[in-house]
Amino acid sequence: MLSRFCISLKGIYMKSKEVIISGITGTTFMTLFSYLVSIAENENFSEPERLGQLMHNLYPVLNKKEKLLAGWTAHYIVGLIFAAIYVQLWEKKKLEPSFKNNSIIGGISGIVAVGVWKLTFKVHPLPPRLSFNKYYLQLVPAHIVFGIFSGLGYIALKNMSKKMNQESR
């Protein structure tokens, strides 16, 4: 069991470029989507800001910049974790990185995220005031956007690598 886990970690490390590119691409576009929904709904659905707010409520000594930095850092770390899982699926050919498949794994990730956020808000001693149902409702399409753009980042990197290999021959 431990050896399988170590092999998986090695695989993630060896594919760190893919994880970083797909994770940053997916997280960036997902966050943009959440900001656009926030504007449309006149309510703050920004995941990094919510994470920063949760951390600030636990550690009130954080100033505004530290709170935002903590929220953005946590948000991108979670995006990299999701991307690491996606890259493993794509690399092991368990799933083709297509628009349809990336939408599906994004949707599944969104459902997982709703569960994690619900649990987080439930156990947090000072959860923020917000319309929880609206927040959860926007999380699923936000993660679909994550899945799509994570896949696009992965495909772009693969195509670029392939082109560079062909040119170096």
Do the Cβ atoms of 142 and 40 come closer than 8 Å?
Answer: no
16-45 pLDDT tens trace: 999 999 999 999 999 999 999 999 999 989
Q: Is residue 146 within 8 Å of 104, Cβ to Cβ?
A: no
Q: What count of other Cβ atoms lies within 10 Å of the Cβ of residue 40?
A: 10
* pLDDT tens digits, 72-122: 999 999 999 999 999 999 999 999 999 999 999 999 999 999 999 999 989
Question: How far apart are alpha carbons 4 and 14 in whole angstroms?
Answer: 15
What's residue 168's pLDDT? 73
Question: Which residue ranges make up each domain of the chain?
Answer: 20-160
Q: Global pTM?
A: 0.86
Q: How far apart are CA 73 and CA 67, in angstroms?
A: 10
Under the phi-then-psi rule, with left for phi > 0, alpha for psi from -120 to 50, and beta for the rest, what region is 59?
beta
Find out whether 23 and 82 touch, Cβ atoms under 8 Å. yes
Element (H, E) at 161: helix 132-167
Average pLDDT score over the chain: 89
Please enumerate in sequence order all residues whose Cβ is within 8 A of that of 133, keeping only pairs 6 or more positions apart, or say none: none
- State how far the Cα of 120 lies from the Cα of 8, in Å rounded to an integer: 27
